[in-house]
Amino acid sequence: MAVSLRERQLTFGASSLLGLRRGAGHVPNVSQNAAVPTTAPIALSQLAGAVNYVPLSINGPSLVSLGTIPVSRPPSSASHAAGTSTSGGSGSITATWQRISGSSIPVCSNTAAVNPTFSCVGNLGNTGGGGTETLTAVWRLTVGDGHSSAFKDITISVSRDLP
C-alpha cells in the first residue's frame, strides 16, 4: 500500500517525517506500530498500517483488601484506594463504578473517579464465635472517552474480627 507523507502528516499531526518516529509524540509506542522506527532514518513505507489511537484500557489490581476492622473498638474504619488507572484513549475520560454483586459493605467514595477510595466505617455487627469474617463485593469500573470504552471487575474485601 502506498503511503504519502501528506496523508501521514494529516493522520498523526506531525510537521515532518522525523516527527513520525514511534514514541516521538505523534505515533504512539504501541504494538500496532512496531514497524515504525523510534530513531532516524524513517521511510514512509514503515508507516503503513500505523495507528494514531490506542483504545482505552484499565490498569490495576483485581482484588483490593481494606484490611481488618477490630470489633473491640467500634466504631472503627478501614479504607483503601482502588489502585486503578487508565491508559490509551484520548480526550476526557469518564468513569463509573457500580456494585454488581456481594455485600453492600464496602462503600465507594466517588463513583465518578477512576481511582476512588473504598471504605467501611462503623461496627460491622457481631455474630459471635470468634475468628474473622470477610465481606466481599464485586464492583465494576467502566471508563470511556467517546471513542472506546473498557470495563474491569474488581473484588473489594474487608474483614472483621469476631468476638
Interatomic CA distance for residues 14 and 18, integer angstroms:
8
CB 120 within 8 A of CB 81: no
Beta-bridge mates of residue 64: 156
Percent of the chain predicted with pLDDT > 70: 87
pLDDT of 130 reads: 67
Among residues 112, 62, 111, which one has the least CA distance to residue 92? Answer: 112
Q: pLDDT 10s digit of each residue in the chain, 163 long?
A: 566 777 777 777 777 778 888 888 788 888 888 999 999 888 888 888 888 888 899 999 999 998 887 665 556 678 889 999 998 887 789 999 999 999 887 888 899 999 999 988 655 555 556 677 888 999 999 999 988 899 999 999 988 776 6
The string of pLDDT tens digits covering residues 40-70 is: 888 888 888 888 888 899 999 999 998 887 6
Beta-bridge mates of residue 98: 140
Interatomic CA distance for residues 98 and 22, integer angstroms:
37
pLDDT of 17 reads: 77
Domains of the chain listed by start with CATH number: 13-53 (no CATH), 57-162 (2.60.40.10)
Q: How many residues does the chain have?
A: 163
pLDDT of 7 reads: 77
pLDDT of 26 reads: 82
Three-state SS at 5 = helix
The string of pLDDT tens digits covering residues 24-36 is: 878 888 888 899 9
Whole-model pTM: value is 0.71
